[in-house]
Structure 1
């Protein structure tokens, strides 16, 4: 059954990659190693909510739940209706919102009454694919969404130490290179 689910997720990912390559922003789903590196930044406070931007087929989502996030404490925004439906079937107690993460302020206001309790944002969005002004606007919205001392956990395929476009609105906490991912990725963590 797990193999069938994995094949289904991979097939869906590849279909969406062909249909909207700039939106997907990756050539393969994130590895379990990358997902685990992101999930390790999950706050220990079980009363906080986690917001996931661009969850795709749910590799990071699964890692967050395996790390201890109660499924009903997850809010995810996925642009692809097919992927959002897939996530709803995999994680029925999570709040999956179909929409553009760049409109997260409006989407959270409309669809989630827990938007004021977000302690961490996990972003799989391909920010390097967007113009600086658009990425900067998203960073401001993420910052406004986070509780005091909340964290932004972002990965990118840019392995250098160049600060990502969202970094100007946060304090740098840490970063880690994940070589066991195709392609290798950098997980960067920032705090409000």
Structure 2
């Protein structure tokens, strides 16, 4: 219940940064793990982890030698995330637009997976573009960027930076959630 209350307080204080009144369903968490292939990934970044429900689901699915960097701007969420006791988890308070700096500060290589629950539909277009450009630039060749969203704003914004997305939906969530994924080519020009 504490996670839900912290999440609700976060939404009330920062509704443009927290995309929902309630955290993700367990069905959504399971879908995220499948979409990002958490069981076979070594370096992951989560943008906008909220209170950590998705973070914990991904940690449970990750290999023992993988690392997950969770980045949030909300100090209350960051404090709660730091309470998750898993040596594979690194937590950073900061902006997703500063991803390159946060990767260096945490001694991480380019991530194989970046996944995001931040609400792109509520942020200024320039900020959204900056985050998407930062994520795409930081992603390892052959890596994947996935945004799970209620609205399709990231689909249109992402096309400008990364091209056409793969689209999936998880209907067992309130409200239903769409997944927009972009796979970075192995080589430039691919």
> Equivalent residue for 1:167?
159
1:1-192 matches, within 5 Å, as: 7-40=1-34, 41-42=36-37, 45-46=40-41, 48-70=42-64, 73-93=67-87, 94-109=89-104, 111-114=105-108, 116-158=109-151, 163-172=155-164, 174-192=166-184
- After superposing the two structures, state which structure 1 stretch, 175-184 or 128-137, moved more: 128-137
Q: CA RMSD in A?
A: 2.1
**Is contact 1:42–1:64 with CA below 8 Å preserved after alignment?**
no
Tell me the TM-score normalised to structure 1 length: 0.85
How far residue 66 of structure 1 moved from its aligned partner, in angstroms, is: 2.3
Give the direction of change, closer, same or farther, for the CA distance of 1:174–1:91 in structure 2 (3 Å limit).
Answer: farther
**Is contact 1:39–1:64 with CA below 8 Å preserved after alignment?**
yes
Distance (whole Å) between structure 2 residues aligned to residue 44 and residue 177 of structure 1: 20
- After superposing the two structures, state which structure 1 stretch, 128-137 or 80-89, moved more: 128-137
**Is contact 2:159–2:165 with CA below 8 Å preserved after alignment?**
no
Tell me the TM-score normalised to structure 2 length: 0.86
For residues 136-183 of structure 1, the C-alpha deviation after alignment (integer angstroms, 9 at most, x for no partner) is 1211110111100110011111269x8331233225452211111111
Distance (whole Å) between structure 1 residues aligned to residue 116 and residue 71 of structure 2: 10
- After superposing the two structures, state which structure 1 stretch, 91-100 or 11-20, moved more: 91-100
> Equivalent residue for 2:187?
none
- After superposing the two structures, state which structure 1 stretch, 10-19 or 64-73, moved more: 64-73
